[in-house]
């Protein structure tokens, strides 16, 4: 898995926890809180070369606090 350590992530807007860049199935990336599970929407990318751009978009959503809070029981 490619590392995105150079992409800055704010603390979780829900709980102040640590945000982590996640990949799913080789087609999208998103940021998820390791503590409460809040996450951004997935940002899809077509080619491997577009992944970094998608990751930056996901990070921007996260940093703008555009996250989906974990629902009860989720």
Tell me: does residue 15 bind Zn ion (CB under 5 A). yes
Tell me: does residue 36 bind Zn ion (CB under 5 A). yes
Residues 6+ apart with CB under 8 A from 6: none
Tell me: does residue 14 bind Zn ion (CB under 5 A). yes
**In this chain, which of 38, 43, 55, 58 binds Zn ion, going by CB under 5 A?**
38
Q: Give least dist CB 13 to Zn ion, A.
A: 8
| Residues at the interface with Zn ion (CB under 5 A) | 12, 14-15, 17, 33, 35-36, 38
């Amino acid at each position: 898995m490619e590392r995105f350590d150079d992409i800055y992530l704010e603390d979780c807007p829900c709980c102040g926890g640590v945000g982590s860049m996640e990949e799913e199935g080789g087609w999208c990336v998103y940021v998820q809180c390791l503590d409460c599970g809040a996450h951004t929407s997935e940002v899809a990318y077509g080619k491997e070369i577009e992944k970094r751009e998608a990751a930056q978009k996901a990070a921007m959503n996260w940093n703008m606090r555009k996250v989906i809070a974990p629902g009860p029981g989720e």
